Amino acid sequence: MAETEAELQAYLKEHNVESLLKDIVVKLCVDKPDDELDFIKNYMIQLQRERGTNVEDDEEEEEEADAGPISRGRSRRAAISASVMTEDDVEDYQRKVIRKDAPTMLRLQKAVSDNVLFQHLDSEELTEVLDAMFLIKKQAGTEIITQGDEGDNFYVVDAGQLEVWKKDDGADESKMVLELTTGGSFGELALIYNQPRAATVKAKTDVQLWALDQDTYRRILMGSTIRKRKMYETFLEKVQILADVDKYERLQVADALEPCTFADETNIVKQGDEGDDFFIIVEGTAVVTQSNDKGESGQVGELGAADYFGEIALLKDNKRHATVTAKGEVKCVKLDRETFERVLGPIEDILRRNMENYQKFTGSA
């Protein structure tokens, strides 16, 4: 069994399967195509072309004829992502730090806070991305990006005004569709797609921009995923309910974990509240308290590293059975309800058995 697992892991690494699947998931989240299977199929065909794999001409013509719009009016070719990045590419990456003062960092953080490509980054990842952004200055009248050109950078406006011009299919002239000022941003799809620009952006005044290139963004994102996986993989072996599951299932959990930190005396979960998250303590101590029907309250347990709580509310779809409070700063990782049901399905029976008989009260929340 161990030998078979090792062979599978070696195969997945050799063929960069993990990177490929992550690219597909990112594209699906961004484009939200109605026909996800057709979307993925078209991506695979493009990869074959890039790798020089023979694809019959008549098959390509048939695909072109059958393929409808991928999503939101994008052409089939426009929905193809950048080439897959390997683990070796990530290991060769040297962190880039372009010095910026605190107000500039705050402006950049605010500018990207609502962008889907940045919302999933934790604070460390976001800081690394913002550190890597480089300054560009352009004079009034200069085209920053041109419709139809290949995308390379994502831009945040630090000072000045820009105009967005777009030429629709069949139109003789472009028309201005938007103005951008300080805090505005454009070109984000260049971070994940090798696709032509959808519009032209011109400097209306002298402008100052902060830019991020595709290669840097993808190396930071992939590097963070690899580091997170390695860190959590070892830690999860210490979690009792995950000790006996196979490595692949543990890796699924590791990839889905979301870090969170709680200050001293913070109620992580509260008795009687609706429960939507499952927690595992990475570092620190938490106190478990319960109140009975008479209103009497008292401590019933204490949790430490590798202990977990919150599963009862998710398994039984009811409210929290206890309050768990941070005793000093507590670092946790968590899974939301949907992810919990998806990745912990193989051990649901163990969780249900443990609900009835704990020694550490970890399931009382």
Annotated binding site for 3',5'-cyclic AMP: 188, 197, 311, 320
**CA distance linking residue 289 with residue 298, whole number of Å:** 5
8-state DSSP, 26: H
**CA distance linking residue 97 with residue 152, whole number of Å:** 19
- Angular region, 360: left φ>0, alpha ψ -120 to 50, beta rest: alpha
Going by C-alpha positions, the residue among 42, 61, 45 that lies closest to residue 53 is 45
Residue with tokens 């100052």: 208
Whole-angstrom CA distances from 25 to 18, 45, 100 are 11, 17, 33
Q: How many CA atoms are closer than 13 Å to the CA of 271, on its beta-carbon side?
A: 19
Q: What residues are designated binding site? A: 188, 197, 311, 320
DSSP string, 90-147: HHT---------HHHHHHHHHHHTT-HHHHT--HHHHHHHHHH-EEEEE-TT-EEE-T
End-to-end CA distance of the chain: 36
Whole-angstrom CA distances from 70 to 31, 47, 189, 341 are 8, 16, 15, 30
